[in-house]
Amino acid sequence: MSERTPVLTKQDLNRCGRRWCTMAVGTFNYETQLAASVVYAESKALRKIYPNDEDYKKSLNNQFKYFNTMPYIANFVLSAGLAMEDQDGLDALDAVQNMKVSLMGPLAGIGDSIGWILLPTIFGSISAYMGQQGNPAGLILWTLAYLLLWIWRTTWWNYGYKIGANFFSSMSNQISAFTEAASILGLTVVGAMIPTTVVLRTGLSFQYGDVVLSVQEGVLDVILPYLLPVLATLAVYKLLNKGVKMTYIILGILVLGCLGAATGILV
């Protein structure tokens, strides 16, 4: 690992926070999800870390890889990744990506519960009740709550950066082990998502005399319940590795799904 002097300041991190809060889902797409917004938020800071054009491009390309988690809480992992790059430059790219992959799933679960359910339910119900009573304080409360949340989200980049810098410093001698462990964890998280998010069932059945055997319920659910989702995921993975665009894959899935449903092959 090369020794570097960190160059990012509190002002740099606050700018990242402001840019992220204003554009977190503004560039959402099906191929890289929030990655383009990550690049927008961190581009100024990364340019300060990498004055060399080629190094800067390598870092940007790394940030353009798939990333998706709850935007409110993404600040932590993104700023920690900045700290790692500020500390060790291009040598930290693999560790940064593996950390993002391994943490974005758990962070999404926490963030969704707090940002999309808990806070809107509490402040929304109170503000709505006050509004129904003709009290304008309800609108003020709702606006104030989200203004404070916006300020908190921008300043959290500083906390994530401090944690990330300390974490990276303490793990500098074991970074290879950390990278491998984070990679394994990331693959485990992605693998665990297949049976919970990919739904693919067949309506095929075999009939012999009066006996009807459903391929899905009588065979697959007994032997390998999630074989079809795994095969579908593997097929998409192979297509992506061959350079097929995500939009083409999505269109193909829609067409095959419609044909399968119309013919009864898929249900």
Q: For 194-244, what is each residue's pLDDT tens digit?
A: 887 788 999 888 887 777 888 888 888 888 888 999 999 999 989 988 988
Task: Please report, as a single letter, which amino acid is at residue 53.
Answer: D
Residue 3: left (phi > 0), alpha (psi -120 to 50), or beta?
Answer: beta
Query: Distance between CA 87 and CA 81 in Å, rounded?
Result: 10
Cα 246 from Cα 210, distance rounded (Å): 45
Q: Which residues of the chain have pLDDT under 70?
A: 1-3, 164-183, 185-186, 189-190
- 3-class DSSP state for residue 36? helix
- pLDDT score at 178: 57
Q: What is the pTM of this model?
A: 0.63
pLDDT of residue 96: 87
Please name the residue ranges forming H helices in the chain. Answer: 10-23, 35-49, 53-63, 71-88, 93-111, 119-132, 137-170, 175-197, 221-223, 227-241, 246-263
Q: Is 166 left (phi over 0), alpha (psi -120 to 50) or beta?
A: alpha
